[in-house]
Amino acid sequence: MHLRYVFSETRTGLRRNVSMSIALIVTIFVSLTLVGMGLLLNSQADKAERFWGDKLQITVFMCNANSQVDTCEGEVTAAQKATIESTIAASPEVDSFYFQGKERAFETWKEVYLSQDSEQQEIYSTVTADDMQESYWIKLKDPEQFQGIKAALGEEQGVAAVRDLREVLKPIYFWMTAMKWGAIAVAGFLLIAAIMQVGNTIRMAAYARRKEIGIMRLVGASRLYISLPFLIETLVAATIGVALAAAAMLTFMYVVIYGMLRPTSTIVEWVDWQDSFLAIGGVAALGLALTLLPTLLMTRKYLKV
C-alpha cells in the first residue's frame, strides 16, 4: 500500500512538472555528454602519448652545401660523421640508431612533396638528391631521457640540426588538451545549471503538493517516506539523461572512431570500446550524484521535515 502511494505520487509529479522534467533531462544529457567526451579525449591523449612515446626518435641532420649554421662549413666530412657516430654509440640514452643517406632521404621527400599540385611540382622538380641532408635516426631507451644526447650532438661540427619529434607533436598534444579541458569546463557550467534545475524542480513539486505533505506530517510520516517520490522523480530524469548521454557517446564511437578514424588512420592508437564504457561508467556515477545529492538537500529545505 505504501509503495503504491509512492509510485502514484511519482507519476503525478512527473505529469505536473513535465516541462521542468524535460528541461532537467536535456540539461543532464548535454552536460554529461560533454563530460564523457572530455573523458574520452583524456584517454585519447594518454594513448597518443604512450603510442608516440615508444616511437619518439631524435633525428640528427648532417650539414650539406646549403647549410647556414655555425657548426657547418660546407658538406659534412667523413671524419665528422665518424665523430658524430661515436658520440651517438657512446651515449647511455641511445637504444639503437641507423644512418639515412641522401638517396633514401630524396625518395622519402618525393613521397611527401611530389603529390602537390602542378605548379608546386614544377618548383620541386629542380630539387635533386644532392640537395638532401644525410641523417642519423636515434631510438632512445627512455623517451623521457634525451637531453644529454641532444645537447652533445648539437655542439658537434658537421651537425646542421637535431630534431626532437616532440616539437612536431607538441601542437597536437596542446589542442587535444585544450579540447579536453574546454569540454569539461563547459560541462561544469551545465552541471551547475543541472543542480539548480533540480532545486527548482523540487521547489515547484513541493509547492504543488503542499497540502498532501502537510497531512503526511500530521499523521507522522517519516522524512524518507515523504521525500521518496521526489527522489524517484529526479532519479528517473537522471537515468534518462545518462542513457541519452551514453547513447550519444556510443554513437560517436561507432560512427567517428570505428567508422572513420580507425579504418583510415594508423598514426596513433585510438580509443576503443573499453575506454568508452569506462567513460560511461564515470558519467553514470556523476549523473546520479548530481541529481540525488541535491534532491536530498533540497527536500530538507522545502519539505521542512
pTM for this model (two decimals): 0.59
Q: What are phi and psi of 97, to 5 degrees?
A: -160, 160
Q: What is the pLDDT of residue 1?
A: 42
Q: d(Cα 291, Cα 199) in Å, to the nearest integer?
A: 9
Quote the longest CA-to-CA distance of the chain.
100
Residue found under cell 619518439: 56
Distance, in Å, from the CA atom of 35 to the CA atom of 33, rounded to the nearest integer, reads 5
CA 116 to chain centre: 32
Question: 77 vs 81, 99, 110, 129, 133, CA distance in Å?
Answer: 6, 15, 26, 17, 13
CA 94, CA 82: separation in Å to the nearest integer? 17
Report yes or no: 223 and 296 within 8 Å, Cβ to Cβ: no
CATH for 54-166 (3.40.50.150, 3.40.50.800, 3.40.462.20, 3.30.70.3040): 3.30.70.3040
List the one residue out of 281, 230, 197, 276 whose CA is nearest residue 27: 197
Distance, CA of 295 to chain centre: 31
The three-state secondary structure class of 160 is strand
pLDDT at position 27, please? 81
Round to the nearest angstrom and report the end-to-end CA distance of the chain: 22
Instruction: Give residue 8's identity as a one-letter amino acid code.
Output: S
Averaged pLDDT, groups of 10, the chain, 305 residues long: 54 63 81 85 76 68 85 87 89 86 79 56 68 84 77 85 72 72 74 73 65 59 63 81 93 90 75 91 87 72 56
What residues have CB less than 8 Å from 72, skipping those under 6 apart?
Answer: 63, 158, 159, 160
All CATH 3.30.70.3040 domain ranges in the chain, comma separated: 54-166
Nearest residue to 176 (alpha-carbon basis) of 54, 48, 31: 48
Q: Please give the pLDDT value at position 7.
A: 54
Q: Is 140 helix (H, G, I), strand (E, B) or coil?
A: strand
**No. of H helices and E strands in the chain?**
11, 4
